[in-house]
Chains A and B, each alone.
Chain A
């Protein structure tokens, strides 16, 4: 079903043209708001010019002609650079994590409405420029992937909104003032103040759902067949973070233990967070620890892994750049090494310990434990030695406040959460496959 570049551009031109018109309208509305409500004429002019630029390029997109659309496409050189040098799980994870850290560290700058508005425009422009690439468009416009694109922008917006309010509150509280939420203690009647909000929400949502349903058909592939395995086979999109973990862990960890711990850990949050501040208003400074752990867990280890699993994992679960064709024959060298082999074969220079022929079950088990002893010690040390170490050093105050049981639960949850980045780094640096490798009992870690 491969279409030529001209056919592809012809097909997407209507969408792209309307997309840029919508961006123009969006900026025009912003200009109107800034001019009439905020009385900032210079800024209004800036957004108006931006709006005009988008309106001017929309006919280029509407034309559907390659020689015109090339002016509003992501340049070939950038696309090749991204596909060649950025398209690994290592670069992707590092870049997303670093971006989050930078956004967090300089949040007072990034939440400024002007900066945030420019970033939104930039993100939408990159999206538009990329949509002129057929491989990018193919994966983004898959019907079931459209909600994820929407989720990315929604999450971006709400993260901005929450951080904007938190920064305001933190600045106020640094001056000894109360948070904004505490200013207005006025009570209003639920009818009409709340029920009208609810009704308007319902009407808007109904309209959105109906328009969405008319505009985008629900996917339906050919009839199910137990013998024709699609490549890649993907779980529903909200589980793709878990599927991505399969790269680093066996199913019993990625599919059972870690998800259960996510659910358990979420439930445990109110009982572990002993910090009484920050209840009922947006703040970051008053609960930095809880905030950063949650954001690493939610934004970095849940949402970005879903995006990775959805948009960047192709046939054979290989990593594909956003502008790369999903070639089922792409080969990636897999030469991962177990810790036991590192220790016995490469470290000491002997063969892996192996029970002699005809040994009993007990002896065989002992040999297996002996073979995997380095890994077993390492994992034991990580889970048993680290919590007391943490309690005596960086988390000393936590331990005193929380007591033994709560601290043990928290530290173990943190350590289990840390397993994923640890395993990722070990895979990227020394190609480590398993820390403990006991295939005899399906126990690989």
Chain B
């Protein structure tokens, strides 16, 4: 009787999933990169120095992995959380006190902080190795937008526990928007936007109102931030991530001395 591993690898089910033998020899190590959906993001072979940890710090990869962790824990958290004034805080309380294996929110929160830090370190490394230089200029721009979206993801998520820490941090942060030039009701130039003496920019129509959905951080804000945090920004990030990775390959692969 052959070993059990061999029986599994020779079965029709296994072979239908993995269309090649185990990647133990050179040929199959190449084939695996081309035939596996998750691996085909990579090239088949790569500069040895380009993947040295002391060169790349692995921070881009770590940031992406943290994004996946945030997505998985985020979906699980959505099972337990209702974004309403009545329930938001209570749901977080019961997450802490009643849910079994109650470290879901911890992983999500610390993962989010870590993601902000690793995305900065990734940018730091790319700058210090001059990897933004031609032909990678545009991918650096995509990266800056992703950095901004990471901060906005974290910012919108900060409100959801609906405790004192949350609403006042968002109040302080969003108060800036009321001073947006022309578009904030306390911003320079807003008074110029008048029609027959009627102000177009008021506290009920300015940039801050657009952000909060109200004149102060309230239930509309909670709903708005929830949708931004769970749907809108992750979708935008996913699209830009795809472009970011694709462009790494198209712009000459991982950077090295030109």
Residues in A lying within 8 Å of B, measured CB to CB: 144, 147, 150-151, 154-155, 158, 161-162, 165-166, 178-195, 197-198, 201-202, 205-206, 209-210, 212-214, 216-226, 228-230, 233-239, 242-243, 250-252, 254-257, 263, 266-267, 269-271, 273, 276-283, 287, 291, 294, 298, 438, 441-443
Contacts and interface: CB of A to CB of B under 8 A. Distances in A.
Interface stretch (B8-16, B46-54, B224-232, B237-245): B46-54
A258 to B, nearest CB: 10
Give the interface centre of A277, A283, A442 by most chain B CB atoms within 10 Å. Answer: A442
A234 B164 CA distance: 11
14 contacts: A147-B114, A150-B117, A179-B257, A181-B49, A187-B48, A189-B33, A191-B32, A198-B61, A218-B106, A224-B164, A224-B166, A256-B179, A283-B130, A442-B188
B181 A256 contact: yes
B65 interface: yes
A239 B144 contact: no
B46 A224 contact: no
Contact of B46 (A193, A217, A282): A193
Contacts of A267: 140-141, 144-145
B92 A280 contact: no
Contact of A161 (B54, B155, B166, B180): B54
A236 B165 CA distance: 9
B45 to A, nearest CB: 5
A226 to B, nearest CB: 7
A279 B258 CA distance: 6
B137 A271 contact: yes
B94 to A, nearest CB: 11
A237 B168 CA distance: 13
Nearest to A270: B137
B171 to A, nearest CB: 7
A132 to B, nearest CB: 26
B109 A165 contact: no
A189 to B, nearest CB: 5
Given A236-B155, A252-B179, A270-B137, A209 B114 contact: yes
A236 B167 contact: no
Interface of B: 23, 26, 29-30, 32-33, 39, 42-49, 51, 53-55, 57-58, 61-62, 65-66, 69, 89, 92-93, 96, 103, 105-107, 109-111, 113-114, 116-117, 120-121, 123-125, 127-134, 136-137, 140-141, 144-145, 147-148, 151, 154-155, 158, 161-169, 171-173, 175-181, 184, 186-191, 216-218, 255-258
Contacts of B216: 226
A251 B132 contact: no
Contacts of B188: 252, 438, 441-443
Contact of A185 (B47, B89, B96): B47
A316 B118 CA distance: 31
Contacts of B107: 209-210, 213
B190 A442 contact: yes
Given A195-B39, A212-B106, A236-B158, A442 B186 contact: yes
Given A238-B151, A251-B176, A279-B131, 4 more contacts: A221-B163, A235-B172, A277-B130, A441-B191
Contact of A234 (B33, B162, B169, B258): B169
Contacts of A192: 23, 29
A195 B58 CA distance: 12
Given A178-B257, A221-B163, A222-B164, A210 B54 contact: no
A155 B121 contact: yes
A189 B26 contact: yes
Nearest to B110: A212
Nearest to A256: B180
B133 A236 contact: no
B147 to A, nearest CB: 8
Contact of B140 (A195, A235, A270): A270
A181 B46 contact: no
A190 B176 CA distance: 47
A166 B176 contact: no
B62 A201 contact: yes
Nearest to A277: B130
Nearest to B181: A252
Contacts of A234: 168-169, 172
Nearest to B42: A190
B164 A255 contact: no
Contacts of A271: 137
Contact of B130 (A229, A239, A281): A281
Contacts of B148: 263
Given A205-B65, A442-B190, A220 B96 contact: yes
Contact of A189 (B45, B57, B113): B45
Nearest to A162: B128
Nearest to B186: A442
Contacts of B113: 144, 147, 237
Contacts of A243: 172
A109 B125 CA distance: 22
A51 B161 CA distance: 43
Nearest to B207: A256
B65 A216 contact: no
A213 B103 contact: yes
Contacts of B121: 154-155, 158
